[in-house]
Amino acid sequence: MAHTTVTTTAFTDQKPGTSGLRKKVTVFQQANYLENFVQATFNAIGDCVGKSLVIGGDGRFYNQTAIQIILKMAAANGFSQVWVGQNGILSTPAASCVIRKYQAFGGIILSASHNPAGQDGDFGIKFNTSNGGPAPESITEAIFENSLTIKDYKISNDADIALDEIGSKELSGMTIDIIDSVSDYADLMETIFDFNQIQDLLAKDSFSMRFDAMHAVTGPYAKEILENRLGAEKGTVINGIPLPDFAKGHPDPNLTYAEELVAEMFSDHAPVFGAASDGDGDRNMILGANFFVTPSDSLAILAANADLVPAYKDGLSGIARSMPTSQAADRVAEKLGIEAHETPTGWKFFGNLLDADRATLCGEESFGTGSNHIREKDGLWAVLFWLNILAARSQSVADIVSQHWQTFGRNFYTRHDYEAIPNAEAEQVMQHLEDQLPTLTGKTFNGRTVSYADNFSYHDPIDNSVSSQQGIRIGFDGGDRIVYRLSGTGTEGATLRVYIESYEDDKAKLLDDTQQTLADLIELADSLAKIVDFTGRTTPTVIT
């Protein structure tokens, strides 16, 4: 069938952020807005003829509408083959898995992660490359450049394709395979972990678990893997049906937003193990009975126990963490005698290290952990990793974490977010910090001496690209650290993130309260940045 070339005018705001282009649904609903970005992506790829794509999303409002448009544009641009998750559903890690398994040229993932969904919520789109990972900055820059000069886009005149039935279809000469959203991913998990050992653990009367899918994409994945394949009791997975508006919730797995799970895990009838995932399935929160594991500690603990998991039993090649993530994993890397890498925020920076086998495990403080099995962070993978460790060690989550601190010391850690600040005020905070950088080193505050102060710049050891201005770091003698950066995923004003970390190896202090332990550093972080003066905010919106 024929296609049409539609004349369009460029939008100036299509610069991808930390993880693709995220905007209000109403912005995407403007005439030609989505089409422009998709064509800019195809233009950045170059010749699309004969190439293949994976397409899927987290099921939020506008997912299917967007997929129909993308399918018609892919056909008109000459793609020959597309795999789509049934009903348009693919979690972000599942999309990465499928791109790799079917050796697709790339993929388009529709998600705004944990941001609220629905007609008044957010939507997002990003392009992943053939390794299954988010496009590197060179490509996202090229997409943005194309979006600024775009004059037309191509779209086929065909009717919509039904996405609910598994099987093969055709659209303007392009083959569309509607695939089961879950099975490829679930099969991959079986090759990584000891499913028999986990099955035995889940069957024990003394063990109990709860997984909160938060009405978002992981419901079907968690039910298939935990309840069907591993035999966890029915009902282990709660809020397991993905809804287009995520039940008007905020599927961000942290102590603030995962209210239902947190209430149960911090009660007198708490299960032994609790976990949650986010809107698109790439984040995870790990809880024990009355116990919270910080994501930074989780990465360090997974690394230290990796030999208990079949896929990693022969050792890790290295560990990579994003810059603001605590330095707990570095201590494990040092003990294991393997490389430790520090990258800017965002999973796209791990891709090269994973491809070159310079890192096996990666993690971010923002509840993201993953490995070389795919090229996205992976929520359920982290949950299965913890289950595998619990099964192998027959100990509680709290005991495993405290033993880890006994061995390595503890990196007390917190992140304070100030959301929806007017952009100008957030810029003032960052500028004020930037202005102080040249004179901070050597100064002493409350007995802490600044050993370095800079705006983080990353030199990729594989492709030699440089990414600068990735966040302000103020480091003190002894390893304490304050980091400031502005979020690249928000859709309203600016979000200032302040990351605070202090190392402790005094065994008597390992179980102290985090906010109290860090109180004077938190105060110093506020005063150095003049947060109250510039923004009028006296408390953060979210503390994790």
453-472: contacts with ligand VG1 (CB under 6 A): none
What is the SS3 assignment for 42-84?
HHHHCCCCCCEEEEEECCCCCHHHHHHHHHHHHHHCCCCEEEE
x-or-dash string of contact with ligand VG1, 330-349, rule CB under 6 A? ---------------xxx--
Q: Confirm or reject binding of residue 210 to ligand VG1 (CB under 6 A).
A: no
Question: How far is residue 365's CA from residue 368's CA, in Å, rounded to a whole number?
Answer: 7
Q: How many CA atoms lie within 13 A of 378 on its CB side?
A: 30
- Site stretch for ligand VG1 (CB under 6 A), options 27-35, 439-447, 467-475, 486-494: 486-494
Residue among 100 and 485 whose Cβ is closer to ligand VG1: 485
Q: Confirm or reject binding of residue 375 to ligand VG1 (CB under 6 A).
A: no
Q: Confirm or reject binding of residue 113 to Co ion (CB under 5 A).
A: yes
Question: How far is residue 385's CA from residue 236's CA, in Å, rounded to a whole number?
Answer: 17
Residue among 90 and 174 whose Cβ is closer to ligand VG1: 90
Q: Confirm or reject binding of residue 283 to ligand VG1 (CB under 6 A).
A: yes
Q: Show the tokens assigned to 149.
A: 């000069």
x-or-dash string of contact with ligand VG1, 89-128, rule CB under 6 A? ------------------------xx--------------
Where helices occur in 441-494 by DSSP H, the ranges are none
Judged by CB under 5 A, the residue of 224, 227, 278, 480 near Co ion is: 278
- Site stretch for ligand VG1 (CB under 6 A), options 55-63, 77-85, 275-283, 472-480: 275-283
What is the SS3 assignment for 323-346?
CCCCCHHHHHHHHHCCEEEEECCC
b (16+ CB within 10 A) / e for 101-132 = beebbbbbbbbbbbbbbbeebbbbbbbbbebb
Which residue number places its CB atom closest to Co ion? 113
Maximum separation of any 2 CA atoms in the chain, in Å: 74
Q: Sheet holding 174-179: strands in order across?
A: 21-24, 122-129, 106-110, 52-57, 81-89, 174-179, 167-171
Q: Name the minimum Å distance from CB 523 to ligand VG1.
A: 23
240-269: contacts with ligand VG1 (CB under 6 A): none
What is the SS3 assignment for 167-218?
EEEEECCEEEEEECCCHHHHHHHHHHCCHHHHHHHHHCCCCCEEEECCCCCH
Q: Name the minimum Å distance from CB 245 to ligand VG1.
A: 18
Interface size with ligand VG1, residues (CB under 6 A): 18
Task: Residue 244: count other Cβ atoms within 10 Å of its Cβ.
Answer: 17
Q: Show the tokens assigned to 432.
A: 């004020």
Q: Confirm or reject binding of residue 296 to ligand VG1 (CB under 6 A).
A: no
Residue among 416 and 497 whose Cβ is closer to ligand VG1: 497
User: Catalytic residue numbers?
Assistant: 113
Q: Name the minimum Å distance from CB 524 to Co ion.
A: 31
> Locate tokens 């005991």: which residue?
399
Question: How far is residue 144's CA from residue 21's CA, in Å, rounded to a whole number?
Answer: 10
Residue among 417 and 454 whose Cβ is closer to ligand VG1: 417
Q: Confirm or reject binding of residue 282 to Co ion (CB under 5 A).
A: yes
Residue among 322 and 535 whose Cβ is closer to ligand VG1: 322
Residue among 280 and 365 whose Cβ is closer to Co ion: 280
Binding site for Co ion (CB under 5 A): 113, 278, 280, 282-283
Binding site for ligand VG1 (CB under 6 A): 18-19, 113-114, 278, 282-283, 322, 345-347, 364, 366, 368, 487-489, 497
